[in-house]
Structure formats: C-alpha cells, structure tokens
Amino acid sequence: MTTAATPALDPITFAVVKSALDTIVDDMAFTVMRTARSPIVRDVLDYSTTLCDADGQIVAQAKTVALHLGAVPDAIEEVLRLYRDDMNPGDVVIMNDPYAGGMHLPDIFMFMPIFFKDRLQGFSVVVAHHCDMGGRVPGSNASDSTEIYQEGLRIPPLKLFDRGRKNTTLFQLIEKNVRVPDLVVGDLEAQLATCRIGEREFVRLFEKYGEADMKRYVAALLDYAETVTRQAIREWPKGTYRFTDHIDGDGFSDKPIPIQVAITVGDGELTVDYAGSSPQVRGAINSTFSFCKSATYLSVRCVLGRQVPNNSGVFRCIKVSAPKGSVLNPELPAPVAARALTGYRVVDAMLGCLGQIVPTRVVAACEGGNTVVCIGGWDKQTREPFILVDMINGAWGGRATKDGIEGVTNPSQNMSNMPVETLEARYPVRIEEYGYLPDTCGAGEHRGGVGLVRQYRLLAEEATLQLRSDRHTHKPYGIQGGGPASGNRNILNPDRNTRELPAKVTMTMNRGDVIRHEQSGGGGYGDPLRRDLALVARDVANGKISPAYARERHGVVMDPSGAKVDHGATEKLRASMRQAAE
C-alpha cells in the first residue's frame, strides 16, 4: 500500500529507467563485439550481457544469446554463497564450472559487483564462449568425451580481481592450460571492459535517482514482468499438455534420446516437468539443470507479448523440474561440452507443447540448433596453433502467418554465421560452397526456411575435426498439418571416396580433405495443399524448391518451362491428394 513514506512510483520515470537499463545492456553487447579477440565471440556473437540486482535477479538482458541468460541466477547464487561476506569494490569473479551453476567449460561467466555508497547494488555480467579451454581436443567442445575431466580447465567461482588487484596466479593458470592464450585472455579482457561499462552506467542511474528510489524502480520492474506474465498465462486453457522430441543418439549409440515435457497451466503460473526424459548419457550432450531451466524460460518468453520485460520476473511464474541423473540434470562426472544441442531440443519440445496451448504464437521446429564445426591443429607455416570454431545457423520453421526465414540464427540464440572472408583469412581452410540447399524446407501453408550447406577444405597438413550436429533421423517437425523438413547430412570428401559421417564425430583430417555439412531446413506450418500458388511458383523461380517438390508436397504442377503454374492440372492433383488423405 502506498503511504506518505512510500510515494507512488512515477510511471514516466519507471519507463525511463526501464529504457535506460535496456540501453546499458545493449551498449555492453556492442562493447564485447568491438573488443573481443576471437571470431567465435566477435563474429559469431556467442556471448551475452546482463545486469542483475544485489540478489542476483536479472534486471535487464541484451539481445544476445538467450540460452545463456536463464542460467545466470543459478551461477550468481553460487557466487553469493561463497563471497557474499567478502564482496568488495574492485572485485571480479569468474567461473565456468557446470556443476556450480555453469553450462559448459568454454562459457566463462564474469561477474563484477556494483557498489554505490559502499553498498552492493547489483552485478554487471558477461558470459562469453571461449575458443578453447584446454582438454583432450582443440575447442574443448567434443561430443565424444565421456567425463567432464576430459573437457578442459574447470574453474569454480574465483576472484580474477580482488579489490582491484589482478590475480596473476589465476591468469597464468588459464594461459598455461589453453592452446591459444592470446585469444582467451583477450576475450577475458573484453569481458572485463564490458563489465566496467555496465558498472559505470548502473552507478550513474543511482546517482541520478538516488539509492532508495532506484531500488524501488528495479523491484517494480521485476514485479511488472511477473504481473504481465501471470496475466498472459491466465488467458491460456488450463490443463496438462505433453510433447516428446528426440536427439539422434549421443555419438556412441544411435539409440534415440527422448526429451519429454509436460506443461501444466495453472492460475497464472506454469509447472514444467521433464520426467520421462532420458537418463544421462555417455556422450557429452548432457545438459546442466541451469541450462535446462534457461531453455525453458526462453521458450515461454517466446510466446509472450513484446510488452513483457526480459528479466527474472518472468522466471517467477515458471516452476521447472527434471529428474536427477537425467540428460537434463546430470550428476558428476557426466560430460557436458556439447550440451547446447540438448538445449535446442528442450526448446523444440517446449514449443511443440506450447503449440497445443497457443498455436498461433509458435513456430514449427527450426533447423535443430546450430551445427558446430571445430577444426583445430598446428599450422606448420606460421608455427602456431589454430582453432576454428564455426557455428552454422540455419532456418526457422513456418509460422502462423509467414514462412520460416533462412540463413539466420535459431530463435533461441542471437548469433551470426561467420563470414567466409574471415574464415579463409584467419584459418587454413577454403570454403568451397556456402548457400541455400533446395528442397530442404518442410512443406506447409507457410513453409519452413530452407537449410544451408557449408563445405570446408583443409589446407593445413593435419587437423582434428569435431562435428556436432543433429536432426539426421528425427527431422524438424511441422505443426498444424505442416510437413517435416529434411534431415542433416555430414559428408566426407564428396569429390572422392565419399563417406557419410554420423551426426556427431571426432576424427583426424589430412590436407585436402573436405567436410560438407548439409543442414536441415525448418518444419512447415499448416496444410501444404493450402499454400498460395503464387508463393509456390516464386519458390521454384528462386531455386528454393524444385518443380518435383512443388508437385509432391504442395500438389502444384508447373508447366513444361517450369516458370508458370498449370492451374488445371494443379486443381485436379490437389483434389486427388485431398481425397487420398481422407
């Protein structure tokens, strides 16, 4: 209740503070992009920035990798558990331990406590995917590790700076355990510079509005996000909804790995239960529970309105559980390096389930998440190690009113495809093909986006290839009657002695070897026989689908030239296809 001692919040100031916080985290994101050393951070944009309050609740998050940020509260909880009584101005804490709130070893969290008038007010936070953390293979991201101790340097929450004093021991430990220390340390310095910008601008807001009012506005912002989220959920049909998706094995076995979710819609809140999902597996696709929660939160956020702020207030409305010892909540020493793949499948399972609740707000399955191609070795010409970590971002599924888009990031991320020029300038590879792959989209009234193809030729003497992909067997699903997309393919040396590779592989490449990745498209939305004929003709003209695909999937017959629709033949074919389906 508002009293004279606690006057009502000014709505205009509330909006200004909200916009200021959003601007700060976006400025932080641009700073990482401008200052990072490694292409995986600078060009692929595999990083995130956020501001938290003194309790570790996310206040604002940038438009960066959404899959990262829901894990921040768990990580910062561990930091506060260790350092709450030993947190000082000038401190900086880093960690990457998946069993202490982290996600996988390449993702280093950096927390800078923010003080105003000698009191802790919040944290400036940057998460970045580092190109190497040591371990058995370059890039520290292999799918075929069998325990976390193989995956690289595991850092519990430790102070990188203590009261402004640099922890040279920790810096040296990191430098001696990674293959490219200049890039790793350079990216740590970029994170540090970015955290300082967040700290500086957050303090300026406290200076402008005062400590008491600023705390009230931050608390009100979190409460507002919770309120509008609960209001949205109250409009959803009550009940329990279920969906199951699958991962194509863990790299050691082709046995499908189920991700099973049940969403119960209550009075303004959701209960999300992953009981029935696979036990933890031998390969490194196990997902930490913090990452599972993050994927769950962002899936719900995807179907909420734009007016909902991106902060921890949304999380308050969602209760998540996953069995201990499962692929979504593993126990030591389970490996987790390739856990992102499982996170993508959690998102797909969540959206498949949410599609039963709010179908017009959900897209059909996307490409399955990015494919990671890691090529690392020793360049004898430069006498230096190289580690290429490329993430191929592909296609969205069809939507209620629009086709899926292609050549873009998965909705659960905000990443970018590395430019060919950067790849060839920085690494001993030649990109021989990069473009759209026809007929890979799922058919629908609104088709999915078409998939991508990327082909690499190794120019170095030798390298280790780590390839992490999925959706070879369990293809991206369509919804509301839409068809599935094509499956992924990995091909070794398509020009000679061609060999199909599994979805997940670690192997040695030699000079001249070629690896070709053909990525899935997105699933279709709605009945393919309802697709507008002009749109089908346009897709054929643009080379996104073939005349054969148009006939088989959409019942559209092109004339002999392939340029125009034969309307009479199309009407007959569609009528017979509908009759056959009844």
Mapped onto helix, strand or coil, the DSSP state of residue 529 is: helix
* 3-state SS class at 229: helix
Q: In what order do the strands lie in the sheet with 514-518?
A: 429-437, 451-458, 514-518, 489-492, 499-501
Measured CA distances, 100 to 72, 77, 79, 466, 534 (Å) = 11, 9, 9, 26, 54
Q: Is the dihedral of CA 63, 392, 424, 189 positive or negative?
A: positive
Q: How far, in Å, CA of 248 to CA of 254, rounded?
A: 6
Tell me the CB-side half-sphere exposure of residue 561, using CA atoms within 13 A: 6
Written as one string, the DSSP assignment of 189-220 is HHHHHHHHHHHHHHHHHHHHH-HHHHHHHHHH
Closest CA to 287 of 337, 212, 250, 231: 337
Among residues 106, 61, 115, the alpha carbon closest in space to that of 87 is found at: 115
pLDDT recorded at residue 60? 95
**What is the identity of the amino acid at 336?**
V
Average pLDDT (481-507) is: 95
Instruction: Give the mean pLDDT of 126-136.
Output: 96
Q: Residue 7 has what pLDDT? A: 67
CA 398 to chain centroid, in Å, comes to 19
pLDDT value of position 307: 86
User: By C-alpha distance, which of 253, 88, 265 is closest to 162?
Assistant: 88
What sign does the dihedral 13-19-22-26 (CA atoms) show?
negative
Amino acid 71: pLDDT: 87
pLDDT of residue 6: 58
221 closest CA partner among 67, 452, 60: 60
Residue 1, pLDDT above cutoff 50: no
* Cis check: omega of the bond before 39, within 30 degrees of 0: no
For 411-480, the DSSP string reads TT----PPPHHHHHHHSSEEEEEEEEETT-SPPSSBPPPPEEEEEEEE-SSEEEEEEE---SSSPPPPBT
Residues 6 or more apart whose Cβ sits within 8 Å of residue 213: 13
The residue among 257 and 71 whose pLDDT is bigger is 257
- Tell me the pLDDT band of 108, cut-offs 50, 70 and 90: very high
Task: Write the CB contacts of 19 (distance below 8 Å, at least 6 apart in sequence).
Answer: none
**Exposed / middle / buried, residue 167 (Cβ in 10 Å: 0-12, 13-18, 19+):** middle
pTM score over 0.85: yes
What one-letter code names the amino acid at 199? E
- What's the chain's average pLDDT? 95
In angstroms, the CA 83 to CA 88 distance is 9
SS3 112: strand
Structure confidence by residue, pLDDT tens digits, 286-296? 999 999 999 99
Mean pLDDT of 43-67: 93
C-alpha distances (whole Å) from 116 to each of 206, 351, 433 are: 7, 42, 54
Summarize pLDDT for 132-144 with one digit per residue, the tens: 999 999 999 889 9
Determine the average pLDDT of the residues in 302-313.
91
pLDDT, tens only, 333-363: 999 999 999 999 999 999 999 999 999 999 9
> What does the domain layout of the chain look like in residue ranges?
11-226, 363-531, 534-581
User: Is residue 22 pLDDT above 90, yes or no?
Assistant: yes
Angle (CA) 246 489 131, round 5°: 85
